[in-house]
Amino acid sequence: MAARTLAVALLLVAGVLTGCIGGKDDTPTTLKKGNVQLNDTFTKPPDGREGNISAFSETNQTEKTGIGASVHTHDYWQGKNRLTIVDQDVAFDPSIGTDGATADFNVPQKGTAINVVPEGAGTVEVLISNPQRQACEPFVTLGGHFVCSPPAPGGDPVAAQTTFKLRYKHASAGSWIDAGDLVIGKATIIKITDAKQTDMPHSTSSLWSFEIVSPNNYDASLIVHAKVDAVRSADGSIPLWPAHPDFYADKTTRDIFTGEAATLGNSPTGAAESLTKPDNEGPVHPKKLISYGTRSVYVWANVSSITSANPALAPSTFYLWHTNATGISNITNPFDAKNHTVDKKEHFWILPVNDSDMDSPYQDLSRWGFQLKATYKTPDASPYQLSCYTGCADYVVKYSLVIKASNVVEPQEKYEVFCEDDTIC
């Protein structure tokens, strides 16, 4: 798939954030529901997934009332045998390559509707239809999306005769899996052979993803409608899971992460390739969960060094890139010249946490990610003004990161809110 090299910001929301917050972590020996000791064999997932339920290495308390206070199942089927989890148009990557074209898509967010492949599923069926053509600017994105013309009227008979390939990742897959041929109007069936291939209970978004591969370079202009159904297996068995951990039973703030990190930023000139890539370059994914009860996340980034390969493309301001449990990336104000210029070493943000943002309480690792990044802005005296926050500046920044989570709801004006993808927010 061709690289996307430039993103242009359309909307800025500035925030002035100050403060300090602390907390302590406990190492439990048994699981407790109030004063009642629980069976601690449920520190491992009951369906054979790898890893432990990490929450129970942090707290020995569980919820004390409701279904979540005892061992229980999670039945998302509600008496149905088939659930539609994707029903939308999917566009191929408009960056024309030399080895065909691809269209990647995930299970979208749908509010309270089912947006996961739930336990008890036996197959996943993928159907594509209604091929159309559009023209897109292949490099620049606005609001997180490529700039494209409306689809041409009528269908595309050439695509209707094409044999595509389907690849997918299930909930425990680390790489693409070949699902075979995919043609317009005929479903390709993916068999689920292990419960750990389904999504974990209380996931706010699915870990399943799909990729349609065309052998034709010209299909970079293609749009198809994708429909994906999860079909319940014959026995439809659903395992028992433990009571929900209570992350804030005896504290209001938890330490999530403390450590070193780094970012390598590249502009289209490729000048940053001359810089040595740090070993710890990339997003930080904490082991501790940002789950039930969390309402605020506090992030400190202290810069130890920043180097630019090309002074003309040196960054101007820092911002915090982050993802939550939905898998949707977002950023803080990328052009905050008051609080986050690159000459400042200490940076602080407060992020709000909504119900849909929270990790499943049963995960082994958090699905949140954090990374300090930098923007590029042409000098004010330049006759051609450009401001962009991805693929623009050449730099390496090394920094320490401290992350804390809390059940405290801060005043709205203290939160740093910026919507990178305006079709989702």
Query: 66-80 pLDDT, tens per residue?
Result: 888 888 899 999 899
pLDDT of residue 379: 57
Helices and strands counted in the chain (H then E):
1, 22
82-232 CATH choice from 1.10.490, 2.60.120, 3.40.50, 1.25.40: 2.60.120
Q: For residue 332, what pLDDT is reported?
A: 94
The whole-number pLDDT of residue 111 equals 52
pLDDT of residue 349: 98
Residue 375: how many other CB atoms lie within 10 Å = 25
Q: Read off the tokens for 322.
A: 């982050």
Structure tokens at 113: 């509707």
What pLDDT score was predicted for residue 235? 87
Q: Identify whether the C-beta of residue 206 lies closer than 8 Å to the C-beta of residue 80.
A: no
3-class DSSP state of 313:
helix
pLDDT confidence of residue 386: 54
- The separation between CA 205 and the C-alpha centre of its own chain, rounded to angstroms, equals 9
Q: What is the pLDDT of residue 121?
A: 96
213 to 103, 160, 384: CA distances (angstroms): 7, 14, 39
419 secondary structure, DSSP code? -
> What helix, strand, coil percent values describe the chain, rounded to 5?
10, 35, 55
How high is the pLDDT of residue 419?
Answer: 72
Structure tokens, 268: 């289209």
Sketch the domain layout of the chain as residue ranges: 6-24+251-414, 82-232
Q: Measuring CA to CA, how many Å separate 401 from each of 260, 271, 345, 422?
A: 6, 26, 12, 28
- Residue 116 exposed, middle or buried by CB count within 10 Å (0-12, 13-18, 19+): buried
Q: Which residues pair with 284 in a beta bridge?
A: 370
Query: Which of the residues in the chain have pLDDT under 70?
Result: 1-42, 96-97, 110-113, 137-145, 147, 267-274, 378-387, 389, 420-425
Bridge partners of residue 241, in order along the sequence:
72
Q: Which helix (H) or strand (E) holds 160?
A: helix 157-160
In terms of Cβ atoms closer than 10 Å to its own Cβ (0-12, 13-18, 19+), residue 150 is exposed
Per the CB < 8 A criterion, the answer to whether 182 and 165 are in contact is yes
State the pLDDT at residue 329.
86
The per-residue pLDDT for 184 is 95
pTM: 0.79
Q: Give me the pLDDT at residue 421, please.
A: 64
Q: What is the pLDDT of residue 257?
A: 97
